[in-house]
Chains A and B, each alone.
Chain A
Amino acid sequence: QVQVVESGGGVVQPGRSLRLSCAASGFSFSNYAMYWVRQAPGKGLEWVAIIWHDGSKTYYADSVKGRFTISRDNSKNTLYLQMNSLRAEDTAVYYCARDRGLKVRGIIIPTCFDYWGQGTLVTVSS
């Protein structure tokens, strides 16, 4: 079955860096775009970043642009999120999610998030 498992969360001081990983299994990882979505404690959901199935394109939320980098290693079925210059407001549970995708004339268009991991908590605090 489809499974995505995040790791790498923890407590980090403001201004420091952290790298999250997401191990995927049960599907052809290299055929799917992947996302990071976060949820601050007691708050709603916020989309963070997307990477295309082949890594050719990435988009970011304005709140993390220039500080976070999404990447993937299709040979290892793993998604990453490199988080630099962390701020208190980055404190959240970070979810890895698969893109459901829609094939239009042979091109896969990103759509919504059809499978989610259980999340990993990142706490930015001194």
Chain B
Amino acid sequence: EIVMTQSPATLSVSPGERATLSCRASQSVSINLGWYQQKPGQAPRLLIYGASTRATGIPARFSGSGSGTEFTLTISSLQSEDFAVYYCQQYNDWPRTFGQGTKVEIK
């Protein structure tokens, strides 16, 4: 099984600042990677697929990059509604696997 490792576990950021989240795969997943945002008590929401393509309705301040085993989610200027937990997920192989999540909290 492909193990997805996210870092850091928690990221403290001030509103308006840039946030950079990392995700590493234990073996290459090409660009078959998605990023999800989850707020407390809510279902996850797809932000990015194909490692760098924004899903429908996702603001341009969210961007994804990377391929192979190293991926990054960048939030260019954090808004209050962006404080949440973010998960990466590979869909290159079965079983589908998620990272353990990065919590973005207010500094």
Q: Which residues of A contact B (CB under 8 A)?
A: 35, 44-47, 50, 59, 61-62, 95, 100, 110-119
A112 with B46: CB separation less than 8 A: yes
A44 with B87: CB separation less than 8 A: yes
B16 proximal to A (CB < 8 A): no
Q: Is chain B's binding surface mostly helix, strand, loop or mixed?
A: loop
B43 with A45: CB separation less than 8 A: no
The CA of A100 and the CA of B47, in the complex, are separated in Å by: 12
B56 to chain A, nearest CB (A): 8
Q: List 27 A-B contacts (CB under 8 A).
A: A35-B96, A44-B87, A44-B99, A44-B100, A45-B36, A45-B38, A45-B87, A46-B98, A47-B97, A47-B98, A50-B96, A59-B94, A61-B95, A62-B95, A100-B49, A111-B32, A111-B91, A112-B34, A112-B49, A112-B91, A113-B34, A113-B44, A116-B43, A116-B44, A116-B45, A117-B43, A118-B42
B58 to chain A, nearest CB (A): 11
B46 with A114: CB separation less than 8 A: yes
Q: Kindly list chain B residues whose C-beta atoms are within 8 Å of the C-beta of A119.
A: 43
The CA of A12 and the CA of B45, in the complex, are separated in Å by: 29
Q: Residues 82-95 of chain B: 1 if any A CB is under 8 Å from the residue's CB, otherwise 0?
A: 00000101010011
Q: Kindly list chain A residues whose C-beta atoms are within 8 Å of the C-beta of B96.
A: 35, 47, 50
